[in-house]
C-alpha cells in the first residue's frame, strides 16, 4: 500500500521577523522617493532583489537553527519595531513625558513629573476616534481607531478601571515608551523610520 505524505507546512515568520521585513521595505521606498525628488538614479529593483535574498537566507537559517527565528521570550518587551507606524506615533505622544527633552520643551527647570497620558474613546460621525487626556485636560487633536487598536491588541493599552471609555498604558506599554524615549533621546539610528506607513 502506497501512502502519500502531505508536504510539511512551512512555519510562518514571527511578528518580529515580519516587522524587520517591513522596515527593510520602508527603507527601500524612502530611498527611492528621496532619489526621485532629487532627480538621482536609484537601483530600486536591485535593492528589492537583495532584500528578498536576505529574507530567504534568514528563513533558511531559521529552519536550521530555531534561535535564528527570533522567537520571543515569554516576558519579552514589545519591540518598537513590532508596533505599526501610526500606533508608534500615538504611543510616543502618550509617553513623551519619558523624554529628557520634555522638560526643555515645557520650560521646566526641575525634572518633570513622569506620568504618561491616557487616551479616551469618543464617536464622531459614526466612527471611533480617540483623544489624548492629561489629568482632566483633553487634547483638541484626535486620532483614528487604527492608531489605537494595535496598542490594545499588543497589550500596551487597557481599559481604565476609573473611567468609562478611557484607556491607560499597561506595564508593557510604559516599558515600551520608556525604552523608545531612551533610544530617541540618545539619537539611536536603528529606531524604525518615522512617518513611513
Compute CA 79 distance to the chain's CA centroid, rounded to the nearest angstrom. Answer: 7
| pLDDT at 13 (0 to 100) | 72
* Nearest-angstrom CA–CA distance, 158 and 167: 5
User: What Cα–Cα distance (Å) separates residue 86 from each residue in 41, 56, 195?
Assistant: 30, 28, 8
pTM of the entire structure? Answer: 0.65
Can you state the angle between helices 44-64 and 15-38, rounded to 10 degrees?
170
| pLDDT at 113 (0 to 100) | 62
Question: How would you write the pLDDT of the chain (197 residues) with one tens digit per residue?
Answer: 566 666 666 667 777 777 777 777 888 888 888 888 888 888 888 888 888 888 777 777 766 665 444 444 444 577 888 888 889 999 999 999 999 876 555 455 444 567 899 999 999 899 999 999 987 788 888 899 999 999 999 999 999 988 888 999 999 999 999 999 998 998 888 888 665 55
Torsion, CA 84, CA 78, CA 134, CA 160, rounded to 10: 100
* Nearest-angstrom CA–CA distance, 84 and 125: 25
The full set of domain ranges for the chain reads: 15-68, 80-186
Q: Which of 143, 144, 145, 171 is nearest to 157 (CA)?
A: 171
b vs e for 161-173, b when ≥16 Cβ sit within 10 Å of the residue's Cβ? Answer: eeeeebbbbbebb
Which cell numbers hold the place of 20? 524587520
Amino acid at each position: 500500500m502506497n501512502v502519500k505524505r502531505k508536504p510539511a507546512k512551512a512555519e510562518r515568520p514571527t511578528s518580529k521577523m515580519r516587522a524587520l521585513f517591513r522596515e527593510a521595505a520602508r527603507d527601500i521606498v524612502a530611498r527611492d522617493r528621496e532619489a526621485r525628488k532629487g532627480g538621482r538614479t536609484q537601483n530600486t529593483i536591485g535593492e528589492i532583489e537583495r532584500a528578498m535574498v536576505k529574507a530567504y537566507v534568514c528563513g533558511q537559517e531559521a529552519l536550521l537553527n530555531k534561535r535564528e527565528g527570533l522567537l520571543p521570550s515569554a516576558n519579552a518587551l514589545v519591540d518598537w519595531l513590532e508596533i505599526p507606524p501610526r500606533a508608534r506615533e500615538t504611543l510616543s505622544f502618550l509617553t513623551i513625558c519619558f523624554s529628557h527633552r520634555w522638560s526643555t520643551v515645557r520650560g521646566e527647570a526641575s525634572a518633570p513629573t513622569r506620568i504618561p497620558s491616557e487616551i479616551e474613546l469618543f464617536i464622531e460621525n459614526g466612527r471611533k476616534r480617540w483623544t489624548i487626556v492629561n489629568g482632566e485636560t483633553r487634547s483638541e487633536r484626535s486620532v483614528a481607531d487604527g492608531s489605537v487598536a494595535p496598542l490594545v491588541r499588543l497589550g500596551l493599552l487597557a481599559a481604565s478601571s476609573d473611567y468609562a471609555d478611557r484607556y491607560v498604558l499597561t506595564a508593557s506599554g510604559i516599558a515600551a515608551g520608556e525604552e523608545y524615549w531612551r533610544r530617541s533621546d540618545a539619537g539611536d539610528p536603528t529606531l524604525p523610520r518615522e512617518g513611513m506607513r
